[in-house]
Amino acid sequence: MTHKRHSLQPKATKKHRPDRSQKNKHLPPRNVEEFFALPERIQDIYTRVTHAISKMRTDGASLPQAAKDYGVSHRQVQRFGGKALRKQKNGRYVAKVRDSLLRVLVILTLEGLREIAVIDSRQATLLADYWNAVQRYVETGDASALRKFGGKDITDADGKRVRLLTDLHELDRLGSAGVLSFESLYARAA
């Protein structure tokens, strides 16, 4: 029986694999500090991803179509919004009924516009519906859609409640001051 001689040379070392933070240096933010610590370009991509996922949820858009509509790749949607997606048996991705992706949105207060971070897609939807009602009131004077928001709050990422402003006199005042422009619900408050 012959024994193979073991080489006395050191074993080849494995290539060093960078840890996750180096490999994916831009991970989905978990709080508002992490969001604003991202480069502006990545903040924009992340925000577009949340829009794409919302479109998939509300309109039933496919992942490639929603990504195209918001100017991001489907890989970016999967990378930043993967926990909000579910892969079906046929291999297609659909948005979950709700998600906990961080969204930095603008809310209306007595002092004007203020940024608020939410981590519940239902809160983001409620705020979007509220903004639609405010816009309808400002453009047409019809306050009927605003009535359903009377006494309602938005819960931010820290668990604080922020009351939705429905007082018509205050809305008129803010509108006259030029606060109520509708470039984007997701725009930064000035």
Contact present, 109 and 164 (Cβ < 8 Å): no
User: What contacts 24+ positions apart, CB below 8 Å, involve 47-53?
Assistant: 47/103, 47/104, 47/186, 48/72, 48/76, 49/76, 49/77, 49/80, 49/81, 50/81, 50/101, 50/103, 50/124, 51/186, 52/77, 52/81, 53/77, 53/81, 53/84, 53/85, 53/95, 53/99, 53/101
pLDDT class of 13 with cuts at 50, 70, 90: low
Question: Tens digits of per-residue pLDDT, 82-133?
Answer: 999 999 999 999 999 999 999 999 999 999 999 999 999 999 999 999 999 9
CATH 1.10.10 residue ranges of the chain are 29-95
Question: Tens digits of per-residue pLDDT, 54-63?
Answer: 999 999 999 9
Task: For the chain, give the longest Cα–Cα distance.
Answer: 98
Q: Does domain 29-95 have CATH number 1.10.10?
A: yes
